[in-house]
Structure 1
Amino acid sequence: MSQHLFLPLVIFVISPIPGAFQDSALSPTEEPEDLDCGRPEPSARIMGGSDAQPGAWPWQVSLHQGGGHICGGSLIAPSWVLSAAHCFVSNGTLEQASEWSVLLGVHSQDGPLDGAHVRSVAAILVPDNYSKVELGADLALLRLTSPAKLSPTVRPICLPRASHRFAHGTACWATGWGDLQEEDPLPLPWVLQEVELRLLGEAACQCLYSRPGPFNLTFQLLPGMLCAGYAEGRRDTCQGDSGGPLVCKEGGRWFQAGITSFGFGCGRRNRPGVFTAVGPYETWIREQVMGSEPGPAFPNQPQESQTGPWESREENCTIALPECGKAPRPGVWPWEAQVIMPGSRPCHGTLVSESWVLAPASCFLDSITSDNPPRDLDAWRVLLPSRTRSERVSRFVPHENATWDDASDLALLQLRAPVNLSAAPRAVCLPYPEHYFLPGSRCRLALWGRGEPALDPSAQLEAELLGGWWCHCLYGHQGASVPPPGHPPHRLCPYYQEEEEEAGRCWNDSRWSLMCLEEGTWFLAGIGDVSSGCLRPRAFSPVQTHSPWISHVTRGAYLEDQLAWDWGPEGEETETQTCPPHTEHGVPIATIVSILTPRLCHCLYQGILPPGTLCVLYAEGQEDRCEVTSAPPLLCQTEGGFWVLMGMAVRGSQELFAAIGPEEAWISQTVAEAHFLPPSGSPYWPPAGSDLCPPDMAGASGSPQAAALILLLLTPLIQD
């Protein structure tokens, strides 16, 4: 069971709410003795597992609206249920009690409800100062229309007094029918789940939340909030668990320490779950249930629990680091996996958890033509780094769209026995759907599928990512909106340090995956199609689109939050952008430029130009019409009136363009219907003359002297 509420992308810095918490004025002698609490019938639980045993948590209830489970709750007295306010308040309005019902004594919500029964809700009460979940006071009381029938599977939980102190580090338990992990609902038969969580002190929890983490957020804890979980994440409550109890055992009784309230995702690193602490609300609870017989029980805290280890405000704070994506050096991937099948070449994939390998489904096309498992699965083997023996495969799960969608060409293979990831091999990190790989991110190519290694083993295949605008508009549609940060991109486009032909290298007919580095951690960012001969792929399908599927199947893959957040000054990366619009005649809006001769281009940008780069000069007053970040295409009109795509802007530059001509072979193979002009249709360049650059020309593209000389050597190519 891993949180319940997915917070928006904002930074919360909140002041405490005055007057919300008071110690109870009631003395221990006023405690009712006629209600036993916190004592379930003897029942073995699956410790460390997920399915709870029937009767293990007899105070757990399910709150239904519209015929289905919405939130959890706990029985605190025969006529009262404790839950979370945010389950019942929508847009500042408290929902009608008549719309809700309470299911008690249920274990599986899809089967015979033996010993279970339903009660309608007569009233829903929330604190006057509750407004929204992140401001605290997130608790609610539900009064039942008739008392619950107490039995071995229906019993109340004990509540702590305002003076009650739970020792930090105490092992407690959260229960509910919520999602197993983000975007992964609890499957049939909807059995009650349990998870062990450790209580975190206020200082330790605030330390974790003061460090930017998922969504680049920090958060200020308020009085009355309680944290439970682990810095390393991976165990947590999740959507649908809201309102359920967090209980701790003391002196043979179970006390409800907290109410499941909210979190930043589910089980994410350095983001423990946030619960409403029950103790500070003793007075409010007593006031609301006054007159009920019997009412909730607030037993005295056992003496031995009052001398536990108290936390200092100056305690050490341990920030958990990613457990995935660590490589000794680029190109040496400890997650590299080779799947060996009889009679075929090895298929290259990557280790994503202790027990699962991700690889292209196209490697196994013969095995995914039906729903039946591969007949020869017992003969498959997986080779992993630093493992002296091969691993056997126990399960094969292709993506449901693998046979017709190249972007979904994925399959997962489960190893028969998990491997130890304390050294090599290690798992690669996978991005969450909202991950945003920043333009300029340092990336490398890694083998993917049945390709062969490069002829030059020393090549590191370096690349860096281009901006989302350039990539999306090149492979998308004119006028389409560019996916902003936080939304899965359609493509990832790398820019390479050098071209293979220039370096005398060839990468064979291989497929590649794209590994990108953030803060010393490697992510599997994208997967590419089969490339054209020796050329590297120009676009990759993002893996993050499939992270929920990978997480659902593996229940243990290492999804990691974004680690780099430098979106540039004033957040221009977050602004909504679109691809260039068309005129009424269908021609993109043009800015007049002229292309420089190769010699003059070289002189102006000596030593910094990749091969095949074109340089342009703008007509007077036209430069401001070209967006620096837009990476516009360079179009030229021939004498015959045809428009030719000559180049694409280099990394958003206004003056430098990557020539399209050298990519003819790759484009022709990728887009068979593309039309190329014969050589005679290309621009005519005047003789270059001397190889020497004019005095003071190198690097002086912005100077008046350079501009004057340029005008004498230009070949005009774009006209009104």
Structure 2
Amino acid sequence: MRSVATILIPDNYSTVELGADLALLRLASPAKLGPSVRPVCLPRASHLFAHGTACWATGWGDVQEAVPLPLPWVLQEVELRLLGEAACQCLYSRPGPFNLTFQLLPGMLCAGYPAGRRDTCQGDSGGPLVCEDGGRWFLAGITSFGFGCGRRNRPGVFTAVAPYESWIREHVMGSEPGPVFPSQLQKPQSGPWEPREENCTFAQPECGKAPRPGTWPWEAQVTVPGSTPCYGALVSDRWVLAPASCFLDSPHDFETWRVLLPSRPEEERVARLVAHENASRDFASDLALLQLRTRVNLTAAPSAVCLPHHEHYFLPGSHCRLARWGRGGARGRAGPRTGWDGRSGTHAGGRIDPSLLISLPELAPGSSAQLEAQLLNGWWCHCLYGRQGETVPRPGDPPHLLCPAYQEEEEAGLCWKDSSWSLLCREEGTWFLAGYRTLSDGCLRPRAFSPMQTHGPWIRHVTQGAYLEDQLTWDWGPEGEETEKQTCPTHTEHGVPVVAAVSILTPRLCHCLYPGILTPGTFCVLYSEGQEDRCEVTSAPPLLCQTEEGPWVLVGMAVRGNRELFAAIGPEATWISQTVGEAHFLHLGGSSYWSPEGSDLCPQDLAGSASSPKVTALLLLLLLAPLIPR
């Protein structure tokens, strides 16, 4: 270790993005030169390094983004190729999220690969980039900065040393021995390797390519003796990501474990399992990585899925699909068509004995993977499941949850109570593993998935090869309204806007439950279990029902001060038409549900017992509404 006597910095240095990122340090005492300690050669201002030259960078920085160099801190090296100015500027001229671009300045040098994967990283700054010429090693560049580490189309940026020959000579004049500036042996000719800006092509992701939705080439089926198969995803040529809950109680006899990958006739063997440190305590960390004994050739049929970086922002409206995940993801459970709420696929009759449910044939494996979804706005998702007054994560910050709205589920009649799924979202033809959902109770809407963004550093640290990809789509709307800071509304007399699933009760049952209260033109509803307290009714929320043909109809408005009673819209159709003129009415079919006929047939135990557990088992048998209410 040697003390530093003086540090010299160029007068025009301010930040790394503006260049001149170099310094001269004068040692307090001279270094002892010998076979293992020698000065590097410095290039003259006229020295030209050929584009495409293979050079070497060394350092003790992170081995990948957010992955520190482990003990005993052995000096690392990486081979990088020099990129010409036009090629580098072309790559950095492509906008990214927040319209991120970069202007390459004189005195800067780029080295790396359009495909990424190899790069210097945080902690390497100041280290050398050396290139060989005629048996001598020249200090071509000084590690300066980069956008992430090893990201596709984002090569590392170095300070070019040659332009600073005069500055270096000026400040070390009289030093013994002085710096060495050997003459360049051969001037390179500018060759065809450097792409022109006008025909510059960008490297495409090596992950996330599927022949068609539902046929996932990264789907991995893990079998452990004595357990049902567990589904996960191939994230690199040697690692599979899956729920840790599949394996926490399994003996770690990896000799008997097998992994089946698409289009691979032979099963893969498992070398080890790395569970997330919070897997047994935190639902959002229910993850494990399984290392395969042999590497998989990703140029063949199996391929890896893309994973999102920490700052990835899945846009509202992103097109997503389901994929099998964990146990039970191959099929869902169907149920009775009548009385279902419009999204959950479960009967909205509250606490009903499961034996009363009528099961339809189970879905064929993989059919649910065809369910299409669009992501909801992050504000809605966060505030529905978050706390009042809580700040909504802004784009660039990992979300707490992802909420997809599925369109085909009304037809499929799915309830996910016994299933677990992963959420795949597509950007410019590339599929990302955006989130996952393990077994849970209830069928509330919208579905909430744990986001994968927060686990990128852990996956990268363990695998050192998983495909974490930059965001490919970033049209966040005019004037960036999606980036505005938002908070969840506080609890007021008007409540928080939420959605609750309900079922419309038959007139006879409604009259029995609310004797003397039900007036003409009024009907009542029953909330699904756990949703009774989700709606404030002082603002008269609407009751929307979906017809079997698909359109949603405004059926009623809540009677002020009551959660269960609604004033019917149908009887006011004439008045609405005369007043509005262009209102659209649909014929719902079925019998009128706001007439309290049969009021003298009320069972004795039902009168005034809307919330009594004794009556809930009878409600399913009495629900006759032909609609799908929310």
Q: TM over 0.5, yes or no?
A: yes
Match of 1:380 in 2: 257
Structure-to-structure mapping, 1:131-170, within 5 angstroms: 131-170=14-53
Task: Report the Cα distance in structure 2 between the residues aligned to 1:313 and 1:139, rounded to whole angstroms.
Answer: 28
Q: Quote how far apart the aligned CAs of 1:705 are.
A: 3.4
Is contact 1:173–1:197 with CA below 8 Å preserved after alignment? yes
Deviation at 1:213, TM superposition (A): 3.8
CA separation of 1:379/1:589 partners in 2, compared to 1, >3 Å: closer, same or farther? closer
What is the aligned partner in structure 1 of residue 117 from structure 2?
Answer: 234
- 1:458 is displaced (CA, Å) by 4.0
- Mapped partners of 2:194, 2:304: distance in 1: 36
Q: Give the corresponding residue for 1:394.
A: 271
1:231-252 alpha-carbon deviations (Å, 9 max, x no partner)? 0001000011000000001111
Q: Distance in 2 between matches of 1:559 and 1:293?
A: 49
Q: Report the Cα distance in structure 1 between the residues aligned to 2:196 and 2:69, rounded to whole angstroms.
A: 40
Matched, 1:124 2:7: yes
Shift in Å, 1:149: 1.0
2:126 equivalent among 208, 218, 243: 243
* Deviations, residues 156-179 of structure 1 (Å, cap 9, x unaligned): 100000000111100000000000
Contact 1:507/1:535, CA 8 A, preserved across alignment: no
Q: 1:157 to 1:580 in 2, by over 3 A?
A: same
Change (3 A) 1:695 1:314: farther
Whether 1:561 and 2:470 are equivalent positions in the alignment is: yes
Tell me the secondary structure at the aligned position of residue 3 of structure 2.
Answer: strand
Contact kept in structure 2, 1:529 and 1:537, CA below 8 Å: no
Match of 1:605 in 2: none
1:491 counterpart residue number: 401
Whole-angstrom distance in 2 between the partners of 1:313 and 1:543: 36
Q: Secondary structure at the match of 1:365?
A: coil
Structure 1 residue 217 corresponds to structure 2 residue 100 = yes
Q: Aligned ranges for residues 280-679 of structure 1 at < 5 Å?
A: 280-303=163-186, 305-307=187-189, 309=191, 314=196, 316-367=199-250, 374-454=251-331, 455-456=363-364, 457-459=366-368, 460-500=370-410, 502-505=411-414, 509-532=418-441, 538-583=447-492, 587-588=493-494, 635-637=536-538
Q: Which residue of 2 aligns with 1:265?
A: 148
Instruction: In structure 2, give the amino acid aligned to 1:151.
Output: G
What SS does structure 2 have at the residue aligned with 1:473?
Answer: helix
Hey, which bits of structure 1, 4+ residues long, moved more than 6 A? 310-313, 533-537, 643-650, 656-659, 693-697
Q: Which amino acid letter does the alignment assign opposite residue 401 of structure 2? A: R
Asked if the contact 1:231–1:318 (Cα under 8 Å) also holds between the matched residues in 2, the reply is no
Q: Show the 5 A alignment for 1:7-156.
A: 118-156=1-39
Deviation string, structure 1 residues 74-130 (Cα, Å, up to 9, x no partner): xxxxxxxxxxxxxxxxxxxxxxxxxxxxxxxxxxxxxxxxxxxx1111111011111
- Once the two structures are superposed, residues 536-579 of structure 1 have per-residue CA deviations (whole angstroms, 9 ceiling, x without a partner) of 87100101100100000000000000111111111000000001
Q: CA RMSD in A?
A: 3.2
| Mapped partners of 1:127, 1:321: distance in 2 | 39
Task: Please tell me the residue identity of whatever aligns with 2:240.
Answer: V
**Which letter maps to 1:381?**
R
Task: State the Cα deviation string for residues 201-229 of structure 1 (Å, max 9, x = none).
Answer: 11111111111246641111111110000
Structure 1 distance, partners of 2:554, 2:426, is 25
Contact 1:245 1:258 in 2 (8 A): yes
| Amino acid paired to 1:421 | L
Q: 1:580, CA displacement in angstroms?
A: 0.7
Share of identical aligned residues, percent? 72
* Cα offset, 1:318, TM superposition: 2.9
Taking the aligned partners of 2:574 and 2:446, their CA distance within structure 1 comes to: 38
Q: Secondary structure at the match of 1:547?
A: helix
Cα separation, 1, equivalents of 2:122 and 2:101: 21
- What is the alpha-carbon distance in structure 2 between the residues aligned to residue 155 and residue 433 of structure 1? 41
- 1:582, CA displacement in angstroms? 3.3
Partners in 1 of 2:269 and 2:15 — Cα distance? 51
Following superposition, the deviation at residue 414 of structure 1 comes to 0.4
| Aligned mates of 2:535, 2:545 — CA distance in 1 | 7
Q: Judge conservation of contact 2:110–2:156 (CA < 8 Å) in 1.
A: yes
Give the superposition deviation at 1:384.
0.2
Q: Deviations over 1:375-404 (max 9, x none)?
A: 411110000000010000001100000011
Normalising by structure 2, we get a TM-score of 0.75
Q: Which amino acid aligns with 2:202?
A: I
CA deviation vs aligned residue, 1:499-535 (integer Å, no higher than 9, x gap): 34x5445667210111111111100001113144788
Q: What SS does the aligned partner of 1:552 have? A: helix
**Aligned twin of 1:682:** 564
Give the Å deviation of 1:424: 1.6
Contact 1:465–1:492, Cα closer than 8 Å, also in 2 = yes
Which blocks of at least 5 consecutive residues in structure 2 are unaligned?
332-362, 498-503, 505-533, 547-551, 556-561, 586-593, 595-630
Q: 1:508 to 1:540 in 2, by over 3 A?
A: closer
Change (3 A) 1:444 1:320: same
User: Does 2:587 correspond to 1:705?
Assistant: no
* Counterpart secondary structure, 1:525: strand
Letter in 2 for 1:635: E
Matches of 2:188 and 2:6, distance apart in 1: 36
Instruction: Count residues in correspondence.
Output: 509
2:507 maps to none
**Secondary structure at the counterpart of residue 366 of structure 1:** coil
- 2:153 is equivalent to residue 276 of structure 1: no
- d(CA) in 2 for partners of 1:249 and 1:142? 24
Cα shift at 1:310:
7.0
Partner Cα separation in structure 2 for residue 647 and residue 181 of structure 1: 52
- C-alpha separation between the residues in 2 aligned to 1:241 and 1:525? 31
Distance 2:563 2:13 in 1: 72
For residues 420 and 125 of structure 2, the distance between their equivalents in structure 1, rounded to whole angstroms, comes to 45
Tell me the distance in 2 between the aligned counterparts of 1:214 and 1:558.
19
Tell me how far apart the structure 1 counterparts of residues 569 and 381 of structure 2 sit (CA, whole Å).
36
**CA–CA distance in structure 2, aligned partners of residues 339 and 193 of structure 1:** 35
Of the structure 1 ranges 212-221 and 278-287, higher mean CA displacement relative to structure 2 is found in 212-221
Structure 1 residues 191 and 215, CA gap change in structure 2 (3 angstroms): farther
Query: Which of 70, 73, 91 is the equivalent residue of 1:187?
Result: 70
Q: Which SS does the other structure have where 1:524 is aligned?
A: strand
CA contact (8 A) 2:321 2:373 kept: yes
Deviations 1:652-708 (A, max 9, x none): xxxx9999xxxxxxxxxxxxxxxxxxxx96224448469xx76996xx9xx943589
